[in-house]
Structure 1
Amino acid sequence: MLRTVALFLATTSVAIVCAFCCHGVLADERRTVWTSSKLVGTPDPPLPFRVERVFPHLQFNEPIAMRDMPTGDPTAPVERRIVLERKGRLVTFEPVDDPTASDLAIDLETALADPANEDIASARDFVLDPRFDENRFLYVTWTVLPHETEGGTRVSRLTMGTDSPPTIDPASRLDILTYPSGDHIGTSLRFGPDGMLYVTTGDGARPFPPDKFKTAQDVTDLRGAVLRVDVRNATKSSPYQIPPDNPFVDYRTSDGRVARGEIYAIGLRNGFRSAFDPATNEFWVADVGWDRCEMIHKIAKGGNHGWSLYEGPFEIDLQQPHGPGCNEDGKPIIAPIILQRDEVQSVTGGVFVPANASIAGKLANQPFQIDGDYLFGCYMNGGVWAADVSQPSAPVVRKLAATGLRIIDFETIKLSSTPEGKLDVIIIDINNGGIYRLVPNEQKAQRDPFPTQLSDTGLFIDCQSLEPAPGIFAYSPAATMYRDGAIGQRVIGIPSEDPIRPSYWFPGTKYPQGTVLANTLTRKVFNDQNEIVNRRVETQLLVFDGLNWAPYSYVWNDEQNDAELVPAGGTEITLSVPDNLLGDEQGPAKREMLHTVYSRNQCMICHHGYNPGGIGFTPQQLHEPRSVDHPEVVTHWNDLVDSGITTRLNINEDTWWVDPYDETLDLDARARSYLAVNCSACHQMGGRASSAVNLQRNVPIDEMNIIGADPAQGNFGITGACVVKPGHPEQSVLMYRVATHGPGQMPKIGSGQPDIAGAKLLWDWIAAMKQEPTVDQHDSPLMKAMLDWRNVIDQGPAVGQAMAASVVSSTTDPTIVGLFEPWIEVSQRATRVGPNPDVAALLSIEGDAKRGEYWFAKAASAQCRNCHQVREGAVSVGPSLGGIGSRRTRAELLDQILNPSNVIEPRWRSHLALTFDGEIVTGLKVDESDDAITLRRSDGRDQTIAADDIETIKLLDQSLMPSGMCEAMTPTEVADLLSYLQSL
């Protein structure tokens, strides 16, 4: 940590001390609010619509739906407005634009649930009777605890009183229909033009395994379907009638079971919100997807919409019995109309924009009509899209707005301030309890263009000195990610008086909107006079828009007085840097390196939903006393608490992150901190790694799935290999991956060269672990090479170079060469494919099939044979390669190797199973019964898990074959492998 502080001061004006004495942790008064932020909006073109809050004086508690209470009088059509909250409160308020109070009509939590044996879990939706002005009926869906209760999901009719303000008598409750409660219960309610009540249900299961109860294809179960019932003459003894024209009236399954006549369509996962198209009377349902896509269905009478045979076009479970509505191959005839997963993570439907909507018309002086379009949103990120569903072909989908809201529902209402005859599209935000309307974003561009220069962001008073603006805090975490020797200077700014509210669960930390985390990376480089100097290369920003973190990068100019915004796709910068492993008594050698400025999408690989914000800005990272000499750099969370920028959270010292390179600290804490800061973004539950390894700092070591664990992606020829083998780093694949510059190098993002000091730390950590009594063989060349590697790093550069050169000269094995390449002159290193291969150049190389066969069958660096067999019928974790040359072109083979997750045949998609004991198993499903499931792991061994032991099981969207498999191969080796595969 002191290295970071020292460099910060070395490259920053002393004016910063005065700035922080006035504006930071040394001030007697509360902190100065950062008011100079210009990091608002986006550098991308503005979207056509925005939202504005309506009813600003009303604050609801998790609202989920709103409706207008009609009077039947055209001169005063709305009696009051009514809002349903998630915990079951129905409240009403005056139909004016700025009501000041709301009134409770009923609290379902206390009025409807039976306190003796059940509690209300949540309300889901409500709808008013088409003749509400006459009968005062409304219908509400609600569920009770415990989970998976028979009859625990209820559609109940209530009667609104005529008192003022109106209330609902609990005694008026009439349960219309019930079905089991569970996780996915759908329960959107709509009355159709035919006067029937349409109810969407879900499959009732938790996310994993998909459709656990197999309800969505079962016409004898009300779940996973659209129901249609007649409630016009409901009584206690006969709460609804089944319309005689429903498609499954008098239907029996092939095994003689009687179908539920209430069912109108089947094959839904979680039909959460629905709407009728007023132009066509067609019924549309937004169906929350599982793993690959989000689905919006145009419901067909008697239709089978696919789940859980399919999720959209993707196969899920074709072995189960399929319901009616499938073709002879078992595929549902009706596919979703709209598939969105590139931006939509959890779809919320939906409303049709009426022709008389107030938002119709011109936008920025250009026609932009959405009359008649179907609007839907994303619960996770607050985006809003419009789909023109009037076309018989695939509808055109356009993004309308980025709201930052947790969108739970849409509605159309008439506000008194809206022009006569117009309606407003209303959005319900469950998170902050507000109601919003969609309005045209009439500006041609955002009011203040997104800053393209770092000096315009408002972070710094002066970029050349990096003097921060008032209200900006510099901080230095205990552990920082290895970036090929780059040092970071971090600051944080909050443009409001609200503090950060930390959580023990990292994703649960609450940040004020507009919070900015910035990290300026500095490298030692050679200047034009061949002197080694500090050069700022890149400043990375994370900007919180209220819901998501947006990453941006600025690259510094040669004058070092400003930095320019990098396009979304990123860039690369060539630098001349010193190499401390090479050189002589005159100093380190010079080498050329590419500094990668990652694309915004690549940044999101680490900064995903389970890893939001900056991993360095947590109480776990900030626990050291502030330096007396450098008080302007915050090193303790409580200093931030005293300043008012955060609230307090006491963290167990056992989970503190520490400086991995400080050899005076505990070895285990250093190694765990190193793995957490460099690897845990992917290697955690919810991360992107296909292995079951969890390297988070707070996970007990026996739950990390590394000690004695079989390597999920091959052993690289190491005899008796484990992910971590206590006492034996030379037999630990984790050790090899961190140490090597060859096949299997990790991590993939953040650095290009291996971190020698970090690898030495992990070696010492594994070596110090208690050994189990085993007979260890060291007959693997790679194991012997790893022992030699450990000897090399203890020597000085000159001796180390000689030892490395001796090893490399005696072998062509890339796994061994990769360990010693850091000590070899760059010009003498093998040319490797790298992370951004030239596909055309690779395809142009004429390969040798015989050499390719030898590499595939015998080379230690070749991991293909671990999973793929050439001989048909052999045990395999991936598709057999027998005959592959006749099925794939050379270009297709290369694309599959470079991008293994782009296309995965359904039978080769892997599953991740989590047991109640915390064990995680990843592999291919080779057998399944009611009692157990068998997964074939990447090492080829089958593991059977009892069904009662499985907490969750997830179908992964990533191939068991990791990307980057050929990064460390030479272009010739790739060409040889392609020629061999073509020859099969």
Structure 2
Amino acid sequence: MISVGWHCRARALIKAVILGLIGFQPAIGAATPWDKIVPNTSIDLPDRPKWLSYATADRFPTLRFNQPVQIVFPPEEDHARMFVVEKIGRVVVISNRDEPEPITFLNLGIKVYNYSESGLLSLAFHPNYKDNGRLFIYYVAQEWNGTGWDYFNRLSELSVDPEDPNSALPDSEKIIINQPDKHYDHNGGGMLFGPDGYLYLSIGDEGEFYDILGNGQKLDKNLFAGMIRIDVDKRQGNPLPNPHVASSDHYAIPSDNPYLNLREFQGIELEPDKVRTEFYAIGMRNPWRFSFDPLTGKLYSGDTGDHTREEINEIVLGGNYGWPKREGSLPGPQRHAVHDADHGFVDPVAEYGREDGNDIAGMLVYRGTQFPELDGSILFSDYFGGWLGRAVVAEGQSPEIEWLAWDGHIADIALDPIDGHVLMADMSEGRIKFLTPPPSSNLSDLPPTLADTGAFLDVKNFILHPSWIPYEINVPFWSDHAIKSRWISLPGSSRAMRFKENEAWAFPGGTIFMKHFDLETRRGDPSTKKRLETRFLIYTVLGSYYGITYRWNEAQDNAILVPPEGLKETISIEEDGVDRLQEWNFPSARDCLACHNGGPDFKAAGRFGRYALGFNTAQLNREASFEGEVFNQLHAMDQAGRLNPPLNKSIHQLPRLAAADDEGASLTYRVRSYLASNCEAC
């Protein structure tokens, strides 16, 4: 450290003398903090933090799948085969867990519209599959109409090749339901045969926010926003479905489905032959996965929230779960909201808010022996929040949610009938994982205080480790009047960052971001500035992200690690001569990944989520100062060899967000810039 400091001072002195002799003014090529990177080898933030009761591991370390969304086991006596559904339109089969070699079982090719939440979403084998070879798939189909594409939520039946049990016959496809679909999101996608032998399929509200397409409470329109139940065996006594553009005569309606012969709904008269009698339950926004309890037969489904609640519902015959009039146990979006206590809808058996996650996905009622302490729990994943949790639902008791492990982008959870593993499909990484107790020998405790992280040479006087590089952004995220400072620390002096003009950048493993928050306790008076918290976002050498924060103590000489569940503090603020109280939320570890989630691989990172939210071209393309000199940050990174590939455009040709007070930009662009910073990640 002494050597580094001496070189910095000597370099600055020599430079000052030379510039003075030639009368040269500071320019864009002047020395910047990017010219003298110090590796962050002494910063002690672990790659495998110890903070939860369980962990995940790769079930097949040598295999990678292409957007896996479901794990399925056919009803075979030996349960030897495992099927993995890939969103791109393919199903692969693994016959030997010990020496896995995936074989393509089905490839739908161009039939599948694979974009955003669309794609091949689920597979179900007939209960008598061993004898009849019947299987069912649900996907978003695309068809060319001569001038453009039409899209459909399609349920089809296929047959297995009688000569090859590891191959389905694509030409055997029989379309059962073909619902025209206007939007690529909210297709649902759970599909299982129930204990009654009927086929259950969950379907979303067709897309967009706030049920803008008007499907949430409709029984005589289309097959959206609910759970359907159909009879693919057409048992005696079960009627055919009512005529509809989406239906066919390849299935029947169970005679006890709740809406047969319905003539009135919510005070509105209906024509019985127009009712979608396929519905088993309605009022759901986007139920992605569901699970039957093998012991009780009860059906539980997740439902992805709009802005306030992620739901776990017990699905009952004829249940109405309220969307869009309700979102979980709360009133729904303003124009639809029902506030009455006797609203008549079915509330969730468990739920959580956006402070804990974003997008409930995989679901499994666990009945197994490997984790007896979890027996009877509803296991679930939160896709963007990056968490695996369990809900404990018991008669006469308040539901309990416990967070078990940290792993993002889990699309499905399944129980391996052979070895009892709780399996998970990680769509982003293309891996099949399984739940494990945390290997304590491989995990590290997080530093309990800011001083223990090694990020500072002197915490009390706020002297940073020399590896930290300050940066500024064009449009900071609004944080309740907080004053924020930002730094990045790289793992080595020669490691470049992956530059992208309009998308998220990529960083070498071991990169750390730090953001510090101050707050003036008397608005507009810098002398009252108080240190609140210092946050870290760590990109590990293992390729995963996590975030932690440290809360500064009253003495302002150190900060304490915030527990995984987060903290709240009430701060006294004087504003315009009036005292008021401001609540400050220190984020939980879950909160960090609710926003710093990377976004799904199937959406462009430039328009939906990132890990390092502000470290991108449009935010960094601005001037900053260093040792009294002004430079453009992107140019400085490029000149120092920190960008790969190097810049091939001038700075003025690259995207640049505009601050609210930037009168050189149009009002429209300033508003769009504000939204890009404050809203895009959600």
Query: What TM-score do the two structures reach when normalised by structure 2?
Result: 0.72
Cα distance change on mapping 1:494 and 1:156 into 2, 3 Å: farther
> Does residue 14 in structure 1 map to residue 6 in structure 2?
yes
> Does residue 242 in structure 1 map to residue 253 in structure 2?
yes
CA contact (8 A) 1:109 1:119 kept: no
Cα distance change on mapping 1:145 and 1:399 into 2, 3 Å: same
2:469 is aligned with what amino acid?
A
For residues 64 and 538 of structure 2, the distance between their equivalents in structure 1, rounded to whole angstroms, comes to: 23
Cα distance change on mapping 1:453 and 1:240 into 2, 3 Å: same
> Does residue 306 in structure 1 map to residue 332 in structure 2?
no
Greater percentage in helix: 1
CA contact (8 A) 1:305 1:332 kept: no
Cα distance change on mapping 1:448 and 1:119 into 2, 3 Å: closer
2:121 aligned partner:
124
For residues 491 and 38 of structure 1, the distance between their equivalents in structure 2, rounded to whole angstroms, comes to: 15
- CA deviations on 1:515-558 (whole Å, 9 max, x unpaired) are 312367999xxxxxxxxx9x997883322356766252475999
Q: Alpha-carbon deviation of 1:40?
A: 2.8
1:84 aligned partner:
85
2:73 aligned partner:
68
Q: Secondary structure at the match of 1:355?
A: coil
- CA deviations on 1:207-240 (whole Å, 9 max, x unpaired) are 1x42522343325532212111111369997411
Q: Secondary structure at the match of 1:64?
A: strand
Q: Alpha-carbon deviation of 1:63?
A: 0.8
For residues 386 and 567 of structure 2, the distance between their equivalents in structure 1, rounded to whole angstroms, comes to: 24
Cα distance change on mapping 1:539 and 1:133 into 2, 3 Å: same
1:332 aligned partner:
344
Cα distance change on mapping 1:645 and 1:195 into 2, 3 Å: same
1:82 is aligned with what amino acid?
F
- CA deviations on 1:887-919 (whole Å, 9 max, x unpaired) are xxxxxxxxxxxxxxxxxxxxxxxxxxx9xxx9x
1:386 aligned partner:
390
CA contact (8 A) 2:93 2:104 kept: yes
Q: Secondary structure at the match of 2:109?
A: helix
Q: Alpha-carbon deviation of 1:629?
A: 10
CA contact (8 A) 1:295 1:339 kept: yes
For residues 573 and 287 of structure 1, the distance between their equivalents in structure 2, rounded to whole angstroms, comes to: 36
CA contact (8 A) 1:622 1:635 kept: yes
Structure 1: which 5+ residue stretches go unaligned? 1-8, 361-368, 524-532, 575-595, 659-668, 677-694, 707-746, 748-913, 919-951, 958-984
1:541 aligned partner:
535
The aligned runs of 1:598-617 (5 Å cut-off) are 599-601=585-587, 608=595, 613=612, 615=614
- CA deviations on 1:138-184 (whole Å, 9 max, x unpaired) are 21111134899887111111222255682222111111222232332
1:56 aligned partner:
61
For residues 572 and 321 of structure 1, the distance between their equivalents in structure 2, rounded to whole angstroms, comes to: 31
The aligned runs of 1:535-684 (5 Å cut-off) are 540-544=534-538, 550-553=547-550, 563-565=558-560, 567=562, 569=567, 599-601=585-587, 608=595, 613=612, 615=614, 618=617, 620-621=619-620, 635-637=633-635, 639=637, 643-644=641-642, 647-648=645-646, 653-654=651-652, 672-673=658-659, 675=661
The aligned runs of 1:110-259 (5 Å cut-off) are 110=110, 112=111, 121-145=118-142, 152-162=152-162, 166-181=166-181, 182=183, 183-207=185-209, 209-232=210-233, 238-253=249-264, 254-258=268-272, 259=275
For residues 395 and 607 of structure 1, the distance between their equivalents in structure 2, rounded to whole angstroms, comes to: 22
- CA deviations on 1:351-401 (whole Å, 9 max, x unpaired) are 011132x233xxxxxxxx110111112111111111122324432221111
Cα distance change on mapping 1:543 and 1:261 into 2, 3 Å: same
1:411 aligned partner:
414
2:364 aligned partner:
351
Q: Secondary structure at the match of 1:307?
A: coil
1:448 aligned partner:
444
2:312 aligned partner:
296
Q: Which moved more, 1:146-155 or 1:242-251?
A: 146-155
Cα distance change on mapping 1:389 and 1:408 into 2, 3 Å: same
Q: Which moved more, 1:264-273 or 1:633-642?
A: 633-642
1:350 is aligned with what amino acid?
M
Cα distance change on mapping 1:453 and 1:318 into 2, 3 Å: closer
Cα distance change on mapping 1:273 and 1:211 into 2, 3 Å: farther
Cα distance change on mapping 1:428 and 1:19 into 2, 3 Å: farther
CA contact (8 A) 1:54 1:97 kept: no
For residues 654 and 349 of structure 2, the distance between their equivalents in structure 1, rounded to whole angstroms, comes to: 49
For residues 320 and 293 of structure 1, the distance between their equivalents in structure 2, rounded to whole angstroms, comes to: 16
Cα distance change on mapping 1:652 and 1:66 into 2, 3 Å: farther
The aligned runs of 1:820-859 (5 Å cut-off) are none
1:248 is aligned with what amino acid?
Y
For residues 202 and 516 of structure 2, the distance between their equivalents in structure 1, rounded to whole angstroms, comes to: 51
1:229 is aligned with what amino acid?
I
2:368 is aligned with what amino acid?
A
Query: What TM-score do the two structures reach when normalised by structure 1?
Result: 0.52
1:77 is aligned with what amino acid?
H
For residues 410 and 174 of structure 2, the distance between their equivalents in structure 1, rounded to whole angstroms, comes to: 30
1:261 aligned partner:
277
Greater percentage in strand: 2
Q: Alpha-carbon deviation of 1:103?
A: 2.1
For residues 136 and 83 of structure 1, the distance between their equivalents in structure 2, rounded to whole angstroms, comes to: 18
Cα distance change on mapping 1:501 and 1:391 into 2, 3 Å: farther
2:44 aligned partner:
38
2:323 is aligned with what amino acid?
W
1:541 is aligned with what amino acid?
R
CA contact (8 A) 2:422 2:435 kept: yes
1:735 aligned partner:
none
1:822 aligned partner:
none
Q: Secondary structure at the match of 1:152?
A: strand
Structure 2: which 5+ residue stretches go unaligned? 13-32, 241-246, 520-526, 573-581, 597-608
Flag the structure with more relative contact order, 1 or 2, with Cα contacts below 8 A and sequence separation at least 6: 2
For residues 137 and 283 of structure 2, the distance between their equivalents in structure 1, rounded to whole angstroms, comes to: 23
1:721 aligned partner:
none
For residues 52 and 116 of structure 2, the distance between their equivalents in structure 1, rounded to whole angstroms, comes to: 43
- CA deviations on 1:245-303 (whole Å, 9 max, x unpaired) are 22222222352412222221121111211110112111111111112211221111122
Q: Secondary structure at the match of 1:13?
A: helix
The aligned runs of 1:693-712 (5 Å cut-off) are 700-704=666-670
Of all paired residues, the percent bearing the same amino acid is 21
Within the candidate set 422, 427, 431, 1:430 is matched to 427
Q: Alpha-carbon deviation of 1:346?
A: 1.1
For residues 138 and 645 of structure 2, the distance between their equivalents in structure 1, rounded to whole angstroms, comes to: 39
CA contact (8 A) 1:620 1:655 kept: no
Considering only aligned residues, what root-mean-square deviation do their CA atoms show, in Å? 5.3
Within the candidate set 363, 368, 376, 2:380 is matched to 376
1:3 aligned partner:
none
